[in-house]
Structure 1
Amino acid sequence: MEEDFVFVANALAHEKRLRILEWLKDPVGNFPPQVDGDLIKDGVCSMYIADKLGVSPPTASQHLALLRDAGLIKATRIKKFTFYRREEAAIAAVAKRIKNEL
């Protein structure tokens, strides 16, 4: 359990990953409409996230993979693209643990 929390804390310990989580909180307000996938239901296409971050798609994918592996976001594959949305229950659990333990 402690190792899991350290892994999640590590995923949160980067400015770009924190920005991604912030932007995904309001995908409609932070990203343009998509041809495939609903911004709310399916999430935001990784290409849009990379563009907004100002990084290459492979770099964005590394950040997104860390957040996904930590359970903070969910990935959905549609056609040849991956879409990401927040896992609100997991984020709330992390926030509660930080509040209670720190």
Structure 2
Amino acid sequence: MQVLRLLAEPERHFGHQWSADAVEFGVCMTMITEELGVAQPTASKHLDILKQAGFITVRRHQKRSYCKRDEQAITNYLNWLQQELSLQSES
């Protein structure tokens, strides 16, 4: 959740990124790792889970990987979750 919150406002949290525009291109995994204050393998594992879930996209540029929220996938999931919770409360 913390990663998704950070990536929701890339200009606020990662405006100092110089290698690519954080809003348009995404945020460098190294910067996300630093912001989280965790080891690189830990951050990579969590980012991979978010990627597999479809909540972020990852693209490579030169030697770096950049992460960006997939807003449509997040919206779709939230809509699905709301619908499922509504159906369960009707039962």
Q: TM-score, normalised by structure 2?
A: 0.88
Q: Which has the larger radius of gyration?
A: 2
Task: Mark the runs of 5 or more structure 2 residues left unpaired by the alignment.
Answer: 86-91
Task: Mark the runs of 5 or more structure 1 residues left unpaired by the alignment.
Answer: 1-17
- Aligned-CA RMSD value: 0.9
Which residues in structure 2 correspond to 1:63-102 (within 5 Å)? Answer: 63-102=46-85
**Structure-1 residue corresponding to 2:11:** 28
How many angstroms apart in 1 are the aligned matches of 2:64 and 2:39?
15
Do the aligned residues in 2 keep the contact of 1:73 with 1:85 (CA within 8 Å)? Answer: yes
Higher relative contact order (CA 8 A, sep 6+): 1
**Structure-2 residue corresponding to 1:44:** 27
Spell out, residue by residue over 1:41-94, the C-alpha distance to the aligned partner (whole angstroms, 9 max, x if none). 111100111111110111111100110011100001111110000000000000
**Structure-2 residue corresponding to 1:19:** 2
Runs of 4+ in 1 over 2 A off after TM superposition: none
The alignment of Structure 1 onto Structure 2 pairs a total of residues equal to: 85
